Structure 1
């Protein structure tokens, strides 16, 4: 019985450390998301103003705006769901490679092996999207509504047994 107070103290310290750790990690995530979202918005506005200043817009410029749009959507999805959408990263890579391909062909005007390599990379990325989509439909991940600590589980168990305990 004398050791019970030490075990209770150890468990409370553990719960406090876990709560503080979760707070710091979530705080960092939100701070980083706001920074990445702000930088993406700022970069897209600056790119658009550069296009307006040039007086004309090329397909390269439009694809660059699509890259910014996909990055912004990825930040928004991560903010709402706390999961990194891998497919959006692949979409960004495909758009960047398409932009590179169009830029290379329009500036060098000569088809070379680089065109084949970039096209093969785009095809490989497109196939990887199919694999990711198939895997996520066949093997969905379990999503919990909210992470529960040991203390929350003990309280829920006590309530189920009829003991109101801590609230």
Structure 2
């Protein structure tokens, strides 16, 4: 069976770099980066404040539960995700999925007494479904890596010595 490769190229008049004046494009990009960074700072500060509030609540109650620890873990995951985005400019899809799994596990732990069997089964099934999604995404990244990932691997690989004995 013959492989069919579809490709499409934009005419010169529709190429993205020709759509905006270079100064306008630069200004727009800088403005977007500024608001993106400001939003990430707000998310990080709000997460730190929420973690502080939760810590104070645990200290005042003189009690720490598994639900409290999972909530603190969620805060740390959010901070890690923000830090990773600041560092690389990319957000791996897996991080929000990890956060979703921990959040659903926390929901089960906190509300287990009020949950009926159907709801418990639904939440448990959702956790399994998200875990399978993480595995599929991870498999896809290993099996079909992005071009940038291949370049990073090539740069990190030890160079072979071409000298002969």
> Which runs of no fewer than 5 residues in structure 1 stay unpaired?
1-10, 145-167
Structural RMSD (CA): 1.9
Q: Does 1:74 align with 2:81?
A: yes
Q: Secondary structure at the match of 1:77?
A: helix
Q: CA deviation at 1:80?
A: 0.6
Larger radius of gyration: 1
Which structure is higher in helix share? Answer: 1
Query: Residue 104 of structure 1: CA displacement?
Result: 2.2
For 1:27-59, what per-residue CA distance to the aligned partner results, in whole angstroms no more than 9, with x for missing partners?
111111111111111111111111111110111
Number of residue pairs aligned between Structure 1 and Structure 2: 131
Unaligned runs of 5+ in 2: 1-17, 150-165
CA deviations over 1:106-126 (Å, ceiling 9, x no partner): x34x76222211111110010
4+ runs deviating over 3 angstroms: none
Q: Normalised by the size of structure 1, how large is the TM-score?
A: 0.73
Distance in 1 between the 2:56 and 2:117 partners? Answer: 34
Return the match for 1:125 from 127, 130, 135: 130
Partner residue of 1:53 out of 43, 51, 60: 60
Separation (CA, whole Å) in 2 of partners of 1:28 and 1:46: 27
2:72 to 45, 65, 68: 65
